[in-house]
Structure 1
């Protein structure tokens, strides 16, 4: 019998990769999307075509802030697995919209758990809750594992903390097969354009080709554990295939700063970055420009950037009210119990992202040259 999976947040980066993964395994996938007037499914379209022509995928409308909507979908579909990926997931936005973030990320999780319980599906439906390394916030130990105390530093982190503990509570109180995946930062060319890694690769690609002048950043010294989203959705699935529900840290166990991410992306474009100044006066200068990586699709004649150009500046607007300085995960439990380990390493991840954004920038140049 074909398994049914319900994915909330299917239109996001993780939703797209998880859809691809589950369809390949023969699942019948139901994806929840909000009814909006703009296209919110471009990531799915990249491999399903403009009309989403795949017999195993059905897109349904729903909203995590509406209890009746959530319960109605679960009652109709009766999924074997629910992957709750839906969230207001931008940390900076959570400071501006804390109530909405709590309603979606915290109470939205409760709505799913309560619906499964009320509908009598506790014995047949397994629930994956997308938790986050932002739970650790002001870290108590390095690296962080499943037993590290939480100290979130944003409304997003606090909302996700409720989501984490209500998932544990329904597991312990009602016997729900409900598990948390505490995923550390995971990126790809499908990452949202306002997240720091994509912001970096988009800006650098455009600067190289003369479409933009400078990348404005906040804390360059923040350190993160970055992996590839495609690897991490496999871990989500593995978590729901276990005999018992539980919580798992999913991470690479390696850490790099935002500064190092910028340097690696620039290097792949043939640009060396030299840092000058301190504090808010710090800036990144193109100290050397050589031939771009042969796989980048960029020829020397396309490069408009010149040696000595300032390509990175600091803007205080991009600092968080409460900074998270360092996050580094310990995935030992996931390795041992799930048999999971990341396949894509840091340099490969950065390479995929910068090359994708160089391709997009190059297409924009062609359109401009054609008068569009």
Structure 2
């Protein structure tokens, strides 16, 4: 019998890449969608471009009773908890929602796993995506699995809370719970409010004469950027080990946002970046983190994982896809997924 994987938040960027990867490996994949979202089973449409063959279920991440019912009815072998609030910048204006979605929801999920094990004598393996933003202001460059957390946003604080919960429930109750601390990872499926997609879309529209400038905030922030498809592979690998553990999932290469911008304009064949660039202080975060770069040594040595797509190629692909979207008006296609 094929193994069953449950992916919460399956319609997001990471959920799509992971679902397709697991389907290719022969899994039966079930994914949850927030009721009333554009991806809800009653209003699917565009989701079939990416989630064909995936069983879809309505479930709000904060609905404890709904989660218990899905877990009891499905009895999955593996759970990948990808649902939740994902925007660092927007988290400042929605702190309570972020705390419920990213923090308390994880606590309730873990509690239900214990109750499930008490009834059935076993429990599914559980993956929690942690965030590099948890490290916040740190002098340790690059960060490792042992770097202390100093979160600098409501989003980062809730991800740190969930990360420590997963570790504690593993150590205290013996659950198979693993974390992957994911550094920035991008693709054409990234939502437009994220800066890399804002850049790729804006540059595409400039190249096609639909606008003249793109407005951004702090261009000096430095991050470790990779390809979302590579990071989905890493998520799966963390649950295939004999013992659960925590991993940094990163490329080990750090770039300034200004470098990302230059890569995008280069992909569109535009040499003069400055004349198309505007900066807005309103886009600055209340407490920004200057630099984050991860050390992926443990993932390489213990998971056999390494990135396969350079970030230069990722940005080139994102710009090319957005140029096709602007030109043809087709926003979603399975052909957009991989460079």
1:45 is displaced (CA, Å) by 2.5
**Residue 27 of structure 2 corresponds to residue 30 of structure 1:** no
2:142 is matched with which residue? 143
Query: How far apart are the structure 2 equivalents of 1:210 and 1:128?
Result: 44
Distance change in 2, residues 1:188/1:335 (3 Å): same
**What residue is the counterpart of 2:257 in the other structure?**
258
May I ask how many residue pairs the two structures share in their alignment? 325
Against the structure 1 CA distance between its residues 122 and 341, is the aligned structure 2 distance closer, same or farther, given a 3 Å change threshold? farther
Structure 2 partner of 1:84: 81
User: In 2, distance between residues paired with 1:364 and 1:62?
Assistant: 31
Secondary structure of the 1:95 match is: helix
Q: Distance in 2 between matches of 1:318 and 1:192?
A: 17
Residues in 2 aligned to 1:221 and 1:331: alpha-carbon distance in whole angstroms: 23
Q: Which position in structure 2 is the counterpart of 1:272?
A: 271
C-alpha separation in 1, matches of 2:202 and 2:291: 24
2-side partners of 1:206 and 1:261: how far apart?
17
- Does structure 1 retain, via aligned residues, the 8 Å contact 2:126–2:239? yes
Task: Give CA deviations for 1:172-206 in whole Å, capped at 9, x if unaligned.
Answer: 11000001100100000111111000000001111
d(CA) in 2 for partners of 1:47, 1:94: 28
Give CA deviations for 1:310-364 in whole Å, capped at 9, x if unaligned.
Answer: x111101110000011110000000000000000001111111000001111124
CA distance in 1, matches of 2:287, 2:11: 29
| Residues 1:102 and 2:67 aligned together | no
Alpha-carbon distance between aligned partners in 2 of 1:46 and 1:257, rounded to the nearest angstrom: 33
Partner Cα separation in structure 1 for residue 123 and residue 95 of structure 2? 34
Highest CA radius of gyration, 1 or 2? Answer: 1
Task: Give per-residue Cα distances to partners, 1:78-129, cap 9 Å, x unaligned.
Answer: 1110000111000111100000000000111112111111122673310000
Between 21-30 and 33-42, report the one with greater CA deviation: 33-42
The 3-state SS of whatever aligns with 1:102 is: helix
Q: TM-score, normalised by structure 2?
A: 0.93
| Range with bigger deviation, 185-194 or 208-217 | 208-217
| Cα separation, 1, equivalents of 2:170 and 2:164 | 10
1:316-335 superposed matches below 5 A: 316-335=281-300
Higher helix residue share: 2
Question: CA 1:254–1:356 in 2, change beyond 3 Å: closer, same or farther?
Answer: same
Contact 1:123 1:176 in 2 (8 A): no
Does 1:169 pair with 2:168?
A: yes
- The answer as to 2:150 corresponding to 1:185 is no
Give secondary structure in 2 for the equivalent of 1:272.
coil
Going from structure 1 to structure 2, the CA distance change for 1:250 and 1:42 (only over 3 Å counts) comes to: farther
| Residue equivalent to 2:20 | 20
C-alpha separation in 2, matches of 1:325 and 1:122: 47
Change (3 A) 1:318 1:42: farther
Q: Which runs of 4+ in 1 moved over 2 A?
A: 37-48, 121-124
Alpha-carbon separation, structure 2, partners of 1:122 and 1:25: 27
Partner of 2:226: 227
Paired residue for 1:336?
A: 301
The CA deviation at 1:73 is: 0.8
Q: 1:267-298 deviations in whole A, cap 9, x for unaligned? A: 11111135xxxxxxxxx22xxxxxxxxxxxxx
- Secondary structure of the 2:89 match is helix
Q: Which residue of 2 aligns with 1:58?
A: 55
Aligned-pair CA distance for 1:71: 1.2
5+ long unaligned stretches in structure 1: 275-283, 286-310, 366-372
Q: TM-score if structure 1 supplies the norm length?
A: 0.85
CA pair 122-268 structure 1, distance change in 2 beyond 3 A: farther
